[in-house]
Chain A
Amino acid sequence: MSAPVSAGAVWRRVLPVWLGLMALLALSCAAAYAPLGPWNVAVSFGIAATQALLVALLFMRLDSASALIRLTAACGLFWSAILFSLSLADVLSRLTRT
C-alpha cells in the first residue's frame, strides 16, 4: 500500500482538499445572495455535490479504493436516483403552484 509515512506527508494529502472545500463553502454562501433566479438552486446544490465528491474521493479515499467499494458507493447513488426520478415524475406532473 503506497501510503505516506510521515505526519507531514499525511497533512500534505488532506490539507489542500480542506482548503478547496472551504473555498467552495465561501463561494456557495456568496452565490446564494446573487440574483441568479432559478439557477440559485442549481448552483448551491451543485457546489454541495462537488464538495461531497471531494469528501468521498479524497477524505473517504474512494479514489484508491477497490472497484467493489466504488461500485457499492455508486449503487447508493444510483438507487437514490431511481427514488427521485420516478417519484418526481409523478409529483412534478401534478404540480399546482402555490
Chain B
Amino acid sequence: MSDPAIATEALLREPWDGLKLPEEQALSYQRTGATFGIWIFIASEVLFFGALFLFYTAVRAEHAEAFAAAARETNIVYGTVNTALLLTSGLTAAAASRASEHAALIRLTRWCLVATALLGLAFLVVKGLEYREDIAEHLVPGPGFKLPEASAQLFFGFYWLSTAIHGIHLMIGIGLVARLIVIGWRHPERIPGNPQVEVTLLYWGFVDMVWLFLYPALYLAGRSG
C-alpha cells in the first residue's frame, strides 16, 4: 500500500531509518514496532488494573452483604451515561484509527479525534457532577460515612480510588489525543500513516475497556435486592 500523500520522511524515526530499507517499508516497520510496543504496555496495564480488581474481588467475597448495600448507593444513571459516552468515544477512536491510514480521509480522522477528546471530556464532567453528589451524600469513607457497617466503607474506598485512577488514565488519553489534534492542525500531512495515531487510539481503547469492567463492579452490584 503505497500512498504518496503520506509524509514518510517526516515520520521516520531512528533506528528504523537505518535499516537500509526503502522508506515506506521502514515506516511500515516502525509502525509495527510502535503498535507492538503499545500492546506490551497495555498488557502491563492489564496487570495493573487486574491487581485492582483482585482487591475488589477479594473484599467483595469477604463482605458480600456490606458491599451490596454500599453498591446500591452509587448513581446508576450517571454510571450508565458515562459508559455510553466512553463507548461512543471508542467508536470515534476506532473510526479515526482506520481513517488515519489513508491521506484522503484526513478530515474524517481529525474530526473523529476531536469527537473522541470531547466525549472523554464529557465523561469527566459527568464524573465531576457525580463526585459532587457523592460528597453531598456522605459517601466519602471516614467519620460521618452514610452507612453504618465498617466494611461498607471498603466499597467506597475502592470506588473513589478506582474511578480516580481511571480518570487519571483518561486525562492522559485526552492529552495524547489533544496532542494529535494540535499536530493535525499545524502539520496535517503528519497525521496519515503516523504510528503515534495508532498508539494513542489503542491506549484509548484500553481505557475504555477498563471502564467496561468498572461499570458492573461499581454500579450493578446489589441492585436486585
Contact = CB atoms under 8 A, between A and B. Distances in A.
Q: Which bucket holds chain B's interface residue count?
A: 35 or more
A13 B217 CA distance: 30
Contact of A44 (B36, B40, B220): B220
B185 interface: no
Interface residues of A, number: 59
B216 A45 contact: yes
B220 A92 contact: no
A80 B51 CA distance: 8
B216 A48 contact: yes
B163 interface: no
Nearest to B205: A60
Contacts of A76: 42-47, 50
B223 A84 contact: no
Chain B interface main SS type? helix
B95 A10 contact: yes
A98 B45 CA distance: 32
Nearest to A69: B39
Given A55-B208, A72-B39, A25 B87 contact: yes
Interface string A1-29: 10111110011011101100110010011
Contacts of A28: 215-216, 220
Contacts of B220: 28-29, 32, 40, 44
A51 B86 CA distance: 12
A88 B54 CA distance: 8
A87 B205 CA distance: 28
A1 B1 contact: yes
Interface string B173-210: 00000000000000000000000000000100110110
Interface string A62-88: 000110110011011101100110011
Interface string B49-71: 01101100110011111100000
B75 to A, nearest CB: 13
Nearest to A15: B91
A95 B62 contact: yes
Contacts of A13: 98
Interface in B1-59: 1, 32, 35-36, 39-40, 42-47, 50-51, 53-54, 57-58
Interface of A: 1, 3-7, 10-11, 13-15, 17-18, 21-22, 25, 28-29, 32-36, 40-41, 44-45, 47-49, 51-52, 55-56, 58-61, 65-66, 68-69, 72-73, 75-77, 79-80, 83-84, 87-88, 91-92, 95-98
28 contacts: A5-B104, A10-B99, A17-B91, A18-B91, A21-B90, A25-B84, A28-B215, A32-B76, A32-B219, A32-B224, A33-B223, A41-B216, A41-B221, A44-B220, A59-B90, A59-B94, A72-B39, A73-B39, A73-B43, A76-B46, A79-B50, A80-B46, A83-B50, A84-B57, A87-B58, A96-B62, A97-B64, A98-B63
